[in-house]
Structure 1
């Protein structure tokens, strides 16, 4: 086992987590451990207060006016399933970008069997949305646009604010997958015209796995039929689903240790500042792109520089097996990456990297310049057969 390990798979999950987050989870489990909405004692009230505080922080981060509209789920995939399957009905039509993750495409493909239709808005081979195509694909039964904020494959950022305005002008709801941007790019639901925002806690929000959620504008609440139902600890005299938030979408016991961890990571983000993290990641991304540009065998996928992107860099290697390169990076140099299709076949088809896929380096603000130089040197040696 190599002593030095360099983690470059932050688009999958962030690591390491902020100092103190794990201790907060342990402290909750060992010293409190209570549920919420079910216990008439102080420890349960303390837990409920922590959950409320976490909703408030998320509401402030994404400029949602009412924190009761912040719903906790296990992850962004669950959030998107609840939104899409509760919102869309037979005969409805939606638009998606051609850069979507399977967290969007598989639920929509499944919904096709019940009469829901969708069209993909084309993107360029760099992952940029061809905005002029939106109007061409509108139909009388188009109900919403569902779109990722940034690609998990190549990091290209899509024009969310511009699409949100388009939705408002055309009477459409706007559903955004913020898996890759929540915690690293500013997101303002009001300014961007976002009606439903799905997020996960374990990527750039720096929380633990198993906690995520979604946020709804008030007008969206009644449009979404709850996918799950059960005990909420509220209005227990009736067997009907509560019609108020957040209980309408939060049956059963939540992942409270996960919310504790997310609470701690959000406080870290508020202290360090998202803009500071983004600037550090973009500096490292620029350095990596510069280093890669000197390797003739390497083809950078997506945007050629650090403009309009996140810290996700995908490459292809001429006349080299990507899986073999990833294996050698890991085993010989301790560099952890991700290779393949990244659960986004539609994006790879758009980027013209299907079915081979790409080798993906995704950076975090804990990475260093020295690590980037080391990665480039390791890649150079592998490509040169050293």
Structure 2
């Protein structure tokens, strides 16, 4: 169909085991509603969900003090954590890297008495001004909310610095791991992160409609969604125990099972990160040889394979449209639901063209993209 470079939005190419597992669960007539009965159908579903929970905890190196709760995407996960943790009078620090799945819940919480400060980024590189965390800290600050990696520049957060800052000031650290889960290691073993929110359909190679929260059990969350839990039907409130606190209603059993299959596949790809890093380095090295290309981001530190660029003075939408119509290369133009990042980069007028790779990306595809960009630059 073409060449796919929009993996930061969702991975289009998935491991075959993912679809096979989903079809198996849907077609087997053996899986009921987990935690809604003691019969075999319910228990089969419960075991599948529990197995994927265990795989995620292992992937994130989470201790027994963490629990995984499933949602249908990272946006819901972030809403559940932010709205369940922040209350009127609280102050939160966040960054210009954030996606609207963080910004819009925080803006909504501002209307309810939560105060907010945003740590800014540098032009072109998108580097965070880390010194602003101390400058903008207040006595009422309770939460630091950070994107683990920018979905615009690919920059990765200096997690050691942020952890030390939060530990020093006794703050809850929440991470949006939408771009990092499955790409770079996430280690919760030191228990300094209060919660991570992840999605299943990007670099975990699961189906759309899957995601979740890996949260430390002592984090005082209030439920945002309430409803059936299958256990305490006469209780007027959502049970406080995790994961039930965050899983009102029936979970997506086929999707969660398929996500588990994808995670198992991913963990067998021992060279996946090195392969993506090598291809990323090659792309950056070659794209920098084209003088008409402006490339945004910090290339002096660790990063995920996400790249934003512009060609001369051309509008990003036009360039992306031409890449698809003339070369069948799929990219993402515009603002990537991250308006503050584009304001920081100086690209609020026209956005950027984003290329993002996956474990299925090949050097041959990158070479075709580079050739296409050169043709566009030369007007051919």
TM range, smaller chain: over 0.9
TM-score of the aligned structures, taking structure 1 as reference length: 0.95
> Which range is displaced more, 190-199 or 111-120?
190-199
Q: Match of 2:36?
A: 38
Conserved? CA contact 1:99–1:350, under 8 Å? no
How many angstroms apart in 1 are the aligned matches of 2:140 and 2:282?
46
Q: CA deviation at 1:42?
A: 1.5
Match of 2:363 in 1: 369
CA distance in 2, matches of 1:145, 1:287: 35
- From 222, 225, 244, give the equivalent of 2:222: 225
Instruction: Name the structure 2 match of 1:316.
Output: 310
Equivalent residues in 2 for 1:235-250, closer than 5 Å: 235-250=232-247
Aligned residues: 378
* 4+ residue segments displaced more than 4 Å: none
Structure 1 residue 171, shift from structure 2 partner: 1.0
Cα displacement (A) at 1:67: 8.0
The residue number in structure 2 matching 1:98 is 96
Cα drift, residue 63 of structure 1 = 2.1
Instruction: Name the SS of the counterpart of 1:186 in structure 2.
Output: coil
Q: In the alignment, what sits opposite 1:283?
A: 278
What SS class does the counterpart of residue 71 from structure 1 fall into?
Answer: strand
1:77 is aligned to: 75
| TM superposition score normalised by structure 2 | 0.96
Are the counterparts in 1 of residues 63 and 188 from structure 2 also a CA contact under 8 Å?
no
- Does residue 302 of structure 1 match 2:301? no
Distance 1:39 1:191 in 2: 37
Alignment partners' CA distance in 2, 1:261 and 1:153: 28
Aligned to 2:106: 108
Query: CA shift at 1:68, angstroms?
Result: 6.9
Map of 1:15 onto structure 2: 12
CA distance in 2, matches of 1:250, 1:65: 20
Q: 1:293: how far off?
A: 1.2
- 1:347-362 equivalences in 2 (<5 Å): 347-362=341-356
Residue equivalent to 2:139: 140
Which sections of structure 2, spanning at least 5 residues, go unmatched? none
Deviation, 1:44, is 1.9
How far the C-alpha of 1:269 sits from its partner, in A, is 1.3
Choose which of 366, 376, 382 in structure 1 pairs with 2:376: 382
Q: How big is the alpha-carbon RMSD for the aligned residues of Structure 1 and Structure 2?
A: 1.4
Contact 2:332 2:353 in 1 (8 A): yes
For residue 215 of structure 1, what is the aligned residue in structure 2?
214
2: CA distance, partners of 1:159 / 1:68: 22
User: Does the CA contact (< 8 Å) of 1:68 and 1:245 recur in 2?
Assistant: no
1:97 shift after superposition: 1.2
Q: Distance in 2 between matches of 1:161 and 1:190?
A: 13
User: For residues 167 and 67 of structure 1, what CA distance do their matches in structure 2 show?
Assistant: 19
CA contact (8 A) 2:66 2:217 kept: no
Q: Contact 2:119–2:133 at 8 Å: present in 1 too?
A: yes
> Which residues of 2 match residues 161-240 of structure 1 at below 5 A?
161-191=160-190, 193-220=192-219, 223-240=220-237
Shift of 1:192: 7.0
Deviation readout 1:124-172 (Å, 9 max, x if unpaired): 2212222222111111101110000000001001112220121011111
CA-to-aligned-CA distance 1:236-268 (integer Å, 9 cap, x gap)? 243332121111111111111110110110110
Report how far residue 40 of structure 1 moved: 2.6
Contact 1:101 1:343 in 2 (8 A): yes
SS at match of 2:325: helix
